Amino acid sequence: MATKNKRDYYEILSVTRQATEEEIKRSYRKLAVKFHPDKNPGDSTAEERFKELGEAYDVLMDGNKRAAYDRYGHAAFAQGTAGPGAGGFHDPFDIFREVFGGGGGMGGGIFETFFGGGAQMDREGRQRGSDLRYDMQITLEEAAFGVEKEIEVRKLDTCAKCDGKGAEPGSRSINCPTCGGRGQVISSRGFFQVSQTCPRCRGAGQIIEKPCRDCDGEGRLEKLSRIKLKIPAGIAEGSRLRSSNNGEAGIRGGPPGDLYVVVHIKEHPVFQRDEDNLYCELPVPFTLAALGGEIAVPTLEGKANLKVPAGTQSGQIFKLRDKGIININGRERGDLLARLIVEVPTRLNGQQRQKLEEFAALCGEENTPLHKGFFDRAKEFFR
């Protein structure tokens, strides 16, 4: 980016020129997460903003660089030669990892760290594999009783040819000729010299003399893996299960990451779930509600019978104990709460209408206490 087109570093970080280091760091953390490429895949604008933030933070958090910038502006860093791809400043991903406390390597960040990734690379280039996330949908019945599932995950797995070492048979590791084994390269920018991660060895300081031709020296290849998972009874929506060592294979023989499975429960046509309890709406004929009787109620385990007392009103809730979801800790079980909806006939033939009219003529206020009570309270509105 040409110097004349560069944005002001303070503006990039949304801080004033009098901002303290803590204010600069706080603003950087917020904006860097917002524009991180892992959070905005394929968005070149977000990636440029992320790089801008790293450059601005690199300058304003260094007392000498900040003083030079305040005096000369971008011209303070316009001379000399820049390192590859970083504009003469520290790698923006390195800055991100330093601020958030993540591991080393290329392209890692807080989004890997949240799932245990971003591990440090050792001197031989070994690095722990990234953790992976898999979203799984299961039915309410599977969540209630538990189930074993097999899933397919396309991920980086250990290269069979080199057994994950990344080297051809008989090859060995040597010092990186670009950085002399230091893992860092020095470049000049204006009044300063800056240290950057070596682009060839990725900071390891070592390279493989003859990389494996199958995996290009990384020690892993993309494969389709089948993984069995045991879903415990009582699992809730959004629960996260960890499958150890089933994430991506490590680089050059490093340990594998983990697989995290996030569980989503499909909507059920009959039941709604609230923690360990189940709810359902149960239509009943108005005659059964008036006369009382017994009705079949669906449960996750089959049919249960419910005694409906005479005079049951629409909307009344009946509890069937221990017919809900077992608690995931196995100590107790929820209930099934059935809300009865009294169904009024919508089509009457002549004989049915005649009988209902005769029935209505026989009914008095004592048969409809809710109706009488309401109109007693509301009678002043009918004057």
What pLDDT, in 10s, does the model give residues 314-365? 889 999 999 989 888 877 889 999 999 898 888 888 888 888 888 878 876 6
pLDDT at 148 over 90: yes
Nearest-angstrom CA–CA distance, 117 and 107: 11
Burial profile 133-151: b = 16 or more Cβ within 10 angstroms, e = fewer: ebeeebebebbbbebeeee
Q: How far is CA 23 from CA 14, 26, 53, 61, 122, in A?
A: 10, 5, 14, 10, 34
pLDDT at 10 (0 to 100)? 94
Nearest-angstrom CA–CA distance, 1 and 10: 17
Name the least confident of 73-87, 298-312, 344-358: 73-87
Query: Of 321 and 38, which is predicted with more confidence?
Result: 321
Nearest-angstrom CA–CA distance, 40 and 14: 20
pTM metric for this prediction: 0.57
As a whole number, mean pLDDT of residues 209-221 equals 82
pLDDT at 105 (0 to 100)? 35
**DSSP reduced 3-state for 239:** coil
pLDDT at 328 (0 to 100)? 85
Could you read off the pLDDT of 253-278 as tens digits, one per residue? 778 888 889 899 999 999 999 899 99
- The first and second tokens of residue 158, run together, are 């250990």
- The first and second tokens of residue 105, run together, are 């390597």
pLDDT at 370 (0 to 100)? 67
Nearest-angstrom CA–CA distance, 206 and 208: 7
